[in-house]
Every structure is written in structure tokens, then in C-alpha cells.
Amino acid sequence: MSADPPIFPDLRMLSTIDQVGVEERAQRFQARSIKSESKLSALKLAVTMLDVTTLEGKDSPGKVKQLCAKAKRPLPEDPSIGPAAAICVYPRLVRVAKEAVGRSGVKVASVATGFPSGQSRLKERLSEIRYAVGAGADEIDMVISRGKLLHGEFRSIFDEIVRCKEACGGAHLKVILETGELQTYDTVRIASEIAMAAGADFIKTSTGKIQPAATLPVTLVMLEAIQDYYDRTGRMVGMKPAGGISDAKTAIHYLVMLKETLGKEWLTSRWFRFGASSLTNDLLMQIRKQQTGRYQSADYFTKD
Amino acid sequence: MAAKNRLAVNKTYKLYLGGKFPRTESGRYYEVKGRKGALLANASRASRKDFRNGVVAARKAWPGWDGSSAYLRGQILYRIAEMLEGRTEQFEEELRIQGSTPSTAKKEVAKAVDLLVHYAGWSDKYQSLFSSVNPVSTPHFNFSVPEPTGVVAVAAPEKSSLLGLCSAIAPILAGGNTSIVLASHSKPLCAITLAEVLNSSDVPAGVVNMLTGFRDELLPHFAEHMDVNALLLCSDMEEEAKMVGKRAAENLKRVVSHPDSALEEDPYHILDFQEVKTTWHPVGV
């Protein structure tokens, strides 16, 4: 290991978040007019940023294979659309997914560490990561112990993430903050700082199992944390809003916010992802609408 | 006297989409003129985006409306008739200022109420009338039943603004479909008032969506929208029917054409927007 060991961030340097200001600012991003060609290219970009996700108890190898086919070529009649960035599954299905995506360039992400609650012993959580990485996962989506965070046990959260990062080896680590359980924007900011300092490659809003999931304001708080961290250290960290983003219009609002907060460098699937399951079809329907001028129907798009 | 100095409170005729009365998203309107050219009201000039929003609402409402019992749909249709009856005077007044004589206005409202009661009765009976058990030469129990087509776009009659409108939508509703309706362009007042009646008659939000505006602007989108399963065109213009037929072909939309007038009460109008499902069930197993 050549890199210096991660250092716990100096949280005294953080200023408090202006809740009204953040929400007001986030609302402004929804007032941009993105039409015709810019809309089409935003939609196409959004498709390539998708982490096509299935995290249900009833997931089966068949369902995962089907989703992989969709991720590889979202719109069968148009090869210029996609592929999606990654497919996101439970650890047991990583091997199936890895085989199904083949060399298409679609990454395989796995949730781990006692997803979605994170309420199991660190030992088991780490071994879950090793299992997923061993099965071929390129990316690991971990959950943090929100209970400890709310208790103020920040060091413990930091150490936990550092250990997880070690367990990942070469795989990318996305840290899920589960902002719906963090109560205030200040806690979200603190959690973001800790995760980035501990070595997260991505910070992610939610598991999708808790409401509210991703919202524009909470994502803005995290984007600003990424910006400040980049200014201090020069290291880029990715962002992944997940859960609750189900229509193309909202996805475009996120892209506008990303561009206006972090700039063009982040506007690729390397640094930004959407965690979503139903968003894919709405993006595809909007793309077809832009191309044909006809409003589309869900009847003509594959369900998975 | 206070009444003399009162400021006029004129009604704003808005759209009816998903159970709400929004203004058109386009911000446009057009003037509705009375018999002698006097301004009656400003009506919303719906855009294709309003239509699209209507389709989304209708699609969302469809499983619930289709899934409710036929008996309940009948009760709701009867309730529309009750509510309409209770507001007879308002409808008569609107018909009069849009050109009807007092006696024809009175007749039209009464007929509209009767027509709704007629279809209320049919809503849980047409299924038995149009279903059949079919003789087949294999050992199968073979039967056919009608099922609703889905989301129906309606270009309502231009001339008959209340009775024509009711005669177009009542059979569609009785059959378990949801709809987006473009009201008469020159006489839109009754349509929006009817939407208020629907809104207070337990018709679930999104089952009927009412638009006012320009037919030549909206009709192409009615025909093209992929999520619209069928289209009812009340028109006497051959060109219009041809244009609709061509554009509707892309998703094999069911297109039904009727003349620009009120349709007679007839259960076969329910059948216009039904798909027949045939089931082959093995016997002797």
C-alpha cells in the first residue's frame, strides 16, 4: 500500500447547513428549460448512468439475466442507446450477473454489509464483501450503521468504512448513507465527510427501502460536500442518488444540478449514477418520444 | 341596494384532468361567443401536453375503474344522472346562452339525464347479452366475453354539446373504460359544468378527463398517442376521419366513427369499446 492511511476528518471545520437555502436552491434546478436536442442527449446520457437495480426477496437468476440483457442493450431496435453503467444485485446473484454481462462493459455492483439495515456484526459484513468481490463484483454498495451515527459514534463509522474499503480490494466502494434516516442535512453532511475521508469512491443517498429516498436537496448537500472535499484534497468522489427517481424529468433535474454544482467533469457514468429500477423505461419512452414525436406507451417496452 | 352594486362573479371554465380543475399548462385561452356575438366566457385552449397529462391520469385510473364491480359502475352512472337532474337550471341556462331555445334546452337536459339512467341500467347486463358459449368440435368448453378496451380518446360532437357529449361518454364508462374527451369547440360551457357534476358523483379521479380547445390542433395527437387504445370520432368530415385513421394505424388503435350528433340510446354503443376474449377450457379432465 503506497497511499497514506485515511485520516479522520476535522468535523469542527464544518459549517451548518442552511435548510431553507438548500431547498430553495434545489427547487431552482427544476426551472431550467431543456428541450429538443439537449433533452435527447440528456436522456441518452442518463441511460448510460443507470445502475439497473433489482433488490427484492423474490429475485431469481432468470430475472437477473433478463435485467442484464436490458442493461447491455436497453432499446433493442437502437444500438446507440446505452449500455447502462452497471447492474446492481444481492451478493448471491453476482456470479449470475457477471456471466450474463460478459464483456459488454456493464459493471456488476453488489450490495453488501447487511443491506439494507446494516444491523449485523462487522465480521459478517466484511465477509459478505469478500464473498461478493470473490464472485466477481466490480463495485460494492455498503450501508453504514445509522444507529451509531445518530449516537454520535463518528469514529466507529469511520473505522467501519475503512475496514470495508480494505475488504473491497480493487472493487469500487459506494457508501450508502440512507439519508431518509439521518434526520437533518447537517448529519448528511457529516456522514458524507466521514465516508469520503475513509476512502469511499462514491457516496450514495439511499437503499431504496426507506422513505424518503433520494431528493434533490439532500443530493445537493452531498454534491457540495464532494465539491469541498475535492477542493481540499484533489480527489474526485462520485455521487449516486438512489430510490424515488422514477421519471425522466426528475432525472434531468438531477443532471442539471450535477452540472451546475460540480461541473462537466462529473457528467459521466464514472462519477455519477442513478440507482433506479423503474426509471429505465421512462427514459426509453422519452427517447422514443423525442425521436418519433409520438407519446409512448409502457405496453411497447419490456418490463425488466 | 347592495345587489345593484355587486361586482359580477364570472365563472372561469378550466380543464378537468385527473379529478382536478387546472388551467391549461400552455396558458392559452379562446373566446366563447353567444348567438349575437357577445362574449360568454374565456375557455381554456388545451395543448397536447394537457392531453398527455389526461392520458396519464386515464391510464392510472383504468385498473381501478375496470376492477370495480359492474354494479358499482351502474350506481355511479345513476348518481351522475341524479346530480345532473339537480343542476338542470344551470345546464338549461348554458344551452340557452349558447344558442338553444328554452324549450329545446329543457328537452336536451331531460334527455341527457334519461340517457345516463339508461346506460346505468346496462352496465351490469350487457356482459350477459354479448357473451356466448360457442359450439366447437373439440372437447373444449369454449366461451367468449367482452372486456373493456382501455383508454379511449373522444372527440365529442360539435353541435350537440350536452346530450351529444353524454351519449358519447356514458357507454364508454358503462363498459369499464377511462377517457379523455375533447368537448365541442364552439359550445364548451356544458362540458366543463358536466365535469363538475362528474366530480361530485363518485366518479374516480382520472376516469373522465375533459379538454376544451381546437380540434384540428389536438386530434392528430389523439390519433397518434401510443398509450390510447381507442378513439371515438364524432364528425361529419371525411377528411378528418381519413387523417385519424392513418395516424391511428401505428398502434392499431380501435377507431369508431359516428356522425356529429347525439347517439341513440343503444347497448351496442357499449360494444364499440369492448374486446372479445375467448377462452378454451378442456373438458373431461
**Distance between A35 CA and the closest CA of chain B, angstroms:** 14
* Residue A59 designated active-site: no
* Rounded Cα gap, residues B67 and B205, in angstroms: 15
Is residue A249 among the annotated active site residues? Answer: no
Averaged pLDDT, B107-124: 98
Query: Parallel, antiparallel, or unpaired for β B39-44 and B29-33?
Result: antiparallel
Q: Do B227 and A299 touch (CB under 8 A)?
A: yes
Q: How far is CA B218 from CA A20, B19, B26, B154, B252, in A?
A: 41, 21, 13, 11, 19
CA–CA distance, B16 with A112 (Å, rounded to integer): 48
Q: State the cell numbers at B114.
A: 334519461
Q: Is A36 on the interface with B (CB under 8 A)?
A: no
Q: Which residues pair with A53 in a beta bridge?
A: A88
User: What residues 211-250 of chain A have any CB closer than 8 A to a CB of chain B?
Assistant: none
A12 CB neighbour count, 10 Å cutoff? 5
Q: In the beta sheet, which residues pair with residue A203?
A: A175, A239
Determine, for residues B227 and A293 on separate chains, whether the beta-carbon distance falls below 8 Å.
Answer: no
Active-site option among A107, A201, A240, A282: A240
HSE at residue B150, side-chain half, CA atoms within 13 A, is: 16
Can you tell me the mean pLDDT for A83-110? 97
User: If you write DSSP's letter for every residue of B168-184 in order, what string do you get?
Assistant: HHHHHHHTT-EEEEEPP
A303 is catalytic: no
Looking at residue B41, its amino acid is A
Please report the pLDDT score of residue B285 as a whole number.
58
Q: Measured at the alpha carbon of residue A150, what is the angle toward residues A144 and A154, in degrees to the nearest 5?
A: 65
Phi, psi at residue B96, to the nearest 5°? -65, -50
Question: Is the predicted pLDDT of residue B87 greater than 70, yes or no?
Answer: yes
In chain B, which residues have their Cβ closer than 8 Å to the Cβ of A298?
Answer: 227
Predicted confidence at residue A3, as pLDDT, reads 64
CATH numbers and ranges of domains, chain A: 16-27+38-291 (3.20.20.70)
Task: Collect all residues of chain B within an 8 Å Cβ-Cβ radius of residue A297.
Answer: 225-227, 251
Mutate to test the interface with B, among A282, A286, A296, A297 (most CBs of B within 10 A): A297
Contact A293, A65 (CB under 8 A): no
What count of CB pairs under 8 Å joins A to B? 23
Q: Average of pLDDT values for A103-125? A: 95
d(CA B32, CA A43): 41
For B52, the closest of A293, A295, A300 (CB atoms) is A295
The CATH code of domain B29-282 reads 3.40.605.10
Say what the pLDDT of residue A1 is.
44
- Size of chain B in residues: 285
User: Among residues of chain A, what percentage have pLDDT more than 70?
Assistant: 99
Domain extent listing, chain B = 29-282
Looking at residue A267, its amino acid is L
The string of pLDDT tens digits covering residues B18-41 is 999 999 999 999 999 988 888 999
- Nearest-CA distance B56 → chain A (Å): 10
pLDDT at res. A190 = 97
The answer on pLDDT for B98 being more than 70 is yes
Q: What Cα–Cα distance (Å) separates residue B240 from each residue in B21, B155, B256?
A: 29, 11, 13
